[in-house]
A and B are shown apart, each in its own frame.
Chain A
Amino acid sequence: MSGPQVGDPEAVPIAVDADVVRVRQAVRALAQTARLSLVDQTKFVTAASELARNTLVYGGGGEAVLTLVSDARRTGVRVRFSDDGPGIADLDLAMTDGYTSGNGLGLGLSGARRLVETFTIDTAPGAGTRIEITSWSR
């Protein structure tokens, strides 16, 4: 059987602008393989785009690791973003709606969280940031 198998992680480095698009495209392809509905795909890829950009802009670069996952009944997509940047000092604040540390209307992490099924974050000042998101087929 060709194509991504459950469990084979695919790593995409995030170092330049073009990588954000690369992450989007890789995530979209995997979400299609996992048979997410169109709306769920769109939501998931949008969240991935936000997080990839965060990794680049605030994390100083890092990587995204994509994995196809499955449980007894459905398949899903999992993406883990990690960077060795400054980390987030006040996580509660960062997760509040409408929060952004940059300029313009940032949506921050709370927005991305609403778009995916599971969202976990591990960060600390000076210890970088790791965010993992997962969404499943219906």
Chain B
Amino acid sequence: MESVPILKIGRTLLVSIQVDLQDHTALQLQEDLADRITSTGARGVLIDISGLEIVDSFIGRMLASIASISRVLDATTVVVGMRPAVAITMVELGLSLGGVRTALDVEKGLRLLDVEEDDAEHLLLDPDGTEAE
């Protein structure tokens, strides 16, 4: 059975979905990600869907689920690379990603996750904002 590879970049897990996912493969990905977040202590999850020509309700639910599960495990999820035709279709369908953050591409997505991390660190190390940038 095909499964989606999960890469680790620093404290971020990167998933690139290149193929038409079968429903059970999508569910497997959810599980695998939850395991990896826990085992690696990852703080961010980046899902690259630039290879997806279709995002239907099942995949949409999967993405939202991954985001929720990650949040519970104290990681942030960013979905990147959504194609315009897919975005238009999802709007027409009324499909919500349930508050998942999105970015145009992997680079911007990673930057987003970095910002989150920086903010968190700043709060921890310099709560009064007395240190210079």
A contacts B directly in the complex (CB < 8 Å)?
Answer: yes
The interface of chain A, by Cβ under 8 A from chain B, is: 17-18, 20-21, 24-25, 28, 38-39, 41-43, 45-46, 49-50, 53, 97-98, 104-107, 111, 114-115
Cβ–Cβ contact A17 & B92, under 8 A: no
Cβ–Cβ contact B95 & A107, under 8 A: yes
Please report which residues of chain B, range 1-43, place their CB below 8 angstroms from some CB of chain A when the two chains form the complex. 20-24
Cβ–Cβ contact B20 & A111, under 8 A: no
**Min CB–CB distance B66 → chain A (angstroms):** 13
The interface of chain B, by Cβ under 8 A from chain A, is: 20-24, 53-58, 60-61, 64, 83-86, 88-89, 92-96, 98
- Residue among B53, B61, B92 making CB contact with A115, cutoff 8 Å: B92
Known A43-B92, A53-B23; contact A28-B57, beta-carbon cutoff 8 A: no
Cβ–Cβ contact A39 & B57, under 8 A: no
- Looking at B55, B60, B93, the one whose CB has the most chain A CB atoms below 10 A away is B93
Q: Which B-chain residue is minimally distant from A111 (CB atoms)? A: B93
Docked complex Cα distance between A37 and B130 (Å): 56
Q: Can you list 13 A-B pairs, Cβ within 8 angstroms, ordered by A? A: A39-B88, A41-B85, A42-B54, A42-B86, A43-B85, A49-B58, A50-B56, A105-B61, A105-B96, A107-B57, A111-B95, A114-B94, A115-B93
Docked complex Cα distance between A28 and B89 (Å): 15
Cβ–Cβ contact B57 & A105, under 8 A: yes
Cβ–Cβ contact A114 & B20, under 8 A: no
- Residue among A17, A39, A111 making CB contact with B94, cutoff 8 Å: A111
Docked complex Cα distance between A45 and B93 (Å): 12
Cβ–Cβ contact B93 & A107, under 8 A: yes
- Residue among B20, B84, B94 making CB contact with A21, cutoff 8 Å: B20
